[in-house]
A and B are shown apart, each in its own frame.
Chain A
Amino acid sequence: MKELRMHGKGGQGIVVGGETLSNAFLNAGKFLAVMPSYGVERRGSDVTAFGRLSDEPVRENCMCYEPDYLVIFDPSQLKKPATYKGFVPGGVIVACGTDPEEVLSMGVKPSKLVMVDGIRIAYEVTGNNLTNMIMCGAFCRAVPELPMEALLKAIEENLPKNFQKTSILGAQRGHDEAVVYTYEIHGEHSKKAPAWTRHVLACREPEKPRYEAPWGNGAEKIVTVDTGTWKVVRPVLTEESCIRCGICATYCPIQCIRKGEDGYFRADLDYCKGCGVCAYECPKKALTMVQESEFRKA
């Protein structure tokens, strides 16, 4: 049995992508059980899903801690250590991006790395960052057991009619435009015995209860999400047009726009989610929303 983990952003259709792969494997006479990890899957936030691939029906439905396959649906996930956690040396990585070094520099040792410029294709095909079908196509390219016909059949049979044309086009382009790199891996790696075969008394030691009374002090417990990685577009200021009125700062939902010493208002890109409210409300149209990929190139 091989294990699979998928990483992406909420709104990119990771769950649908996983289900489509599952149906595709069924068409190819194999079994892929997929399970999304349950949580608040906000548009833009990190989303993970798991899968198990076997010749027999799969009964286990716990999370995968040591995946043999990684599918990374968004370039923003490439630089996160959590994405590669537990990845088995010699496994296969299918990643949305163009530079294999970006993946290899994270210390993983795949035997095969398939890269595809998914975001560019997604914008060309659907006009947004929906990379799921493109990555499914690239996955087909990476895994010879899964023929492309099985994937296309799964799309035709299970996706709503109005998505089919773009889905098929995306999957086909993902398959055709993917670049395959292979590496030689030395040494054996054995996985830990899977959780369900071990004698487990309790899943994990329970966290110590926190005294969460209203009169307690909350300063040390603040949790921060790196929402800066969520954005697909970012606001760019044209200083000549700006009248330094601060309207953008008033309405930024994140309240991440601050006045600098030069009097101009600038967004803190570590937290900006790229919603575009500032640019829409600016009376002088001094802000333009520019694709993140423009900056990744530089």
Chain B
Amino acid sequence: MEMEQKIPMMSPGLPMCAGCGMELVVRVLYDELKNDEFISFGGPGCALLTTKVSVPCYGTLFTNMAPSASGVSRELRRQGKDTVCLCIGGDGMFSDIAFGNLSAAAERGEHLLVVCYDNEAYMNTGIQRSSRTPEGAWTNTTPVGPRSIGKKKQQKPFSLLLAEHNVAYVATCSPAHMQDFRKKIRAARDASREGFAFLHVLAPCPTGWKSKPEIMIRQCRDAVNTNYFPLWESRYGAYHITVNVKEPKPVTEFTKTQKRFSHLSEEQIRQLQEDVDLNFEHLKKLCG
């Protein structure tokens, strides 16, 4: 399944760390869209591609990406075009800082394809906690010491929140399940022609997770196999699990490869496992 690129869409040398999950995510994304007419939007974060791609790429701030893209998308549609408007951003952008405007664009049903690579913290600015940082994890703003032992709060289930807007398409993806990921990119591209489409992709960050770069794909696989990051899709609020895990492994399978979890106590692990189980139960109920 190697890439065949007739025109180089994207620079072969991108300044991302070795073993960066996000680099694979953006490369696969561009590869899957290469035969479509599309334009892209990028904001602050590790994945700013403005000068790295031959596709028109418009650099925006955090909060104005969804609004700017909405305007451009509307104008293109007014001209009778069905150009795909691709927005790429991190979890800090979409789950925290720009969540309000993203939610507004979803509610309006703008014709956008929004992709969030989730590396579970603000990485570009030096590993600060985001609402997607898992419970117990170390970051520079949730340190491990006498007065703090990692993050205290649960992850924000923000892809579920977006799906609850009853938009055309929402899905979670993992690069380890490459076929499923590519299928979802195509589905989201098609859905963005009729409404709002959103992909939430897990993207391990060896730098911020304090893990070895070579196990990046294994981490994605473990996240799915432990139900920590279940893969599902939703079309207009109709949920459906796309990868069924027969015998889920304990969440420690995912946490043990990352130094950001190395301090976790039995109690913290138990809590994390309980939340993983509860979240999955909730998802199963939504899937009916």
Residues in A lying within 8 Å of B, measured CB to CB: 40, 42-45, 212-219, 221-228, 230-231, 246, 249-259, 265, 268, 270-271, 273-277, 279-281, 289
Residue of B nearest to A217 (CB): B56
Whether B15 and A40, one on each chain, are in contact in the complex, defined by CB atoms closer than 8 angstroms, is: yes
Whether A223 and B52, one on each chain, are in contact in the complex, defined by CB atoms closer than 8 angstroms, is: yes
B27 within 8 A of A: yes
Nearest 8 A/B pairs, CB to CB: A276-B214, A275-B19, A273-B18, A275-B18, A225-B13, A253-B24, A275-B213, A280-B214
Complex partner residue of A246 from B2, B19, B57, B59, CB under 8 angstroms = B2
Complex partner residue of B214 from A215, A218, A271, A277, CB under 8 angstroms = A277
Whether B39 and A214, one on each chain, are in contact in the complex, defined by CB atoms closer than 8 angstroms, is: yes
Residues on B with C-beta less than 8 A from A215 are: 39, 56
* A225, B16: Cα distance in complex, Å: 10
Residues on A with C-beta less than 8 A from B124 are: 40
Q: Which label, helix, strand, loop or mixed, suits the secondary structure of the B interface? A: loop
Whether B213 and A276, one on each chain, are in contact in the complex, defined by CB atoms closer than 8 angstroms, is: yes
Whether B13 and A279, one on each chain, are in contact in the complex, defined by CB atoms closer than 8 angstroms, is: no
Whether A253 and B27, one on each chain, are in contact in the complex, defined by CB atoms closer than 8 angstroms, is: yes
* A228, B12: Cα distance in complex, Å: 10
Given A221-B51, A280-B215, decide whether A226 and B13 contact each other with a Cβ distance below 8 A: yes
Chain B residues within 8 Å of chain A by Cβ, number: 48
Whether B58 and A230, one on each chain, are in contact in the complex, defined by CB atoms closer than 8 angstroms, is: no
Whether A250 and B17, one on each chain, are in contact in the complex, defined by CB atoms closer than 8 angstroms, is: no
| Cβ of B2 to closest chain A Cβ, rounded Å | 4
Complex partner residue of A257 from B2, B7, B20, B28, CB under 8 angstroms = B2
* A212, B59: Cα distance in complex, Å: 8
* A277, B16: Cα distance in complex, Å: 15
| Cβ of B96 to closest chain A Cβ, rounded Å | 20
Residues on B with C-beta less than 8 A from A227 are: 13-15
Residues on A with C-beta less than 8 A from B206 are: 43, 275
Whether A222 and B178, one on each chain, are in contact in the complex, defined by CB atoms closer than 8 angstroms, is: no
Residue of A nearest to B39 (CB): A214
Residues on A with C-beta less than 8 A from B212 are: 276
Whether B24 and A256, one on each chain, are in contact in the complex, defined by CB atoms closer than 8 angstroms, is: no
B53 within 8 A of A: yes
| Cβ of A209 to closest chain B Cβ, rounded Å | 13
Whether A276 and B19, one on each chain, are in contact in the complex, defined by CB atoms closer than 8 angstroms, is: yes
Whether A265 and B15, one on each chain, are in contact in the complex, defined by CB atoms closer than 8 angstroms, is: no
* A273, B7: Cα distance in complex, Å: 23
Residues on B with C-beta less than 8 A from A279 are: 214
A214, A217, A276, A277 — most chain B CB neighbours (10 Å)? A214
Whether B214 and A222, one on each chain, are in contact in the complex, defined by CB atoms closer than 8 angstroms, is: no
Residues on B with C-beta less than 8 A from A265 are: 2
* A276, B2: Cα distance in complex, Å: 18
Given A227-B13, A273-B18, A275-B19, decide whether A281 and B217 contact each other with a Cβ distance below 8 A: yes
| Cβ of B4 to closest chain A Cβ, rounded Å | 9
Given A258-B2, A277-B216, A280-B218, decide whether A222 and B15 contact each other with a Cβ distance below 8 A: no
| Cβ of A46 to closest chain B Cβ, rounded Å | 10
Complex partner residue of B17 from A42, A213, A281, CB under 8 angstroms = A42
Given A253-B27, A268-B12, decide whether A218 and B56 contact each other with a Cβ distance below 8 A: yes
Whether B18 and A44, one on each chain, are in contact in the complex, defined by CB atoms closer than 8 angstroms, is: yes
- CB within 8 Å of A: which of B233-261? none
Residue of B nearest to A215 (CB): B56
* A253, B27: Cα distance in complex, Å: 8
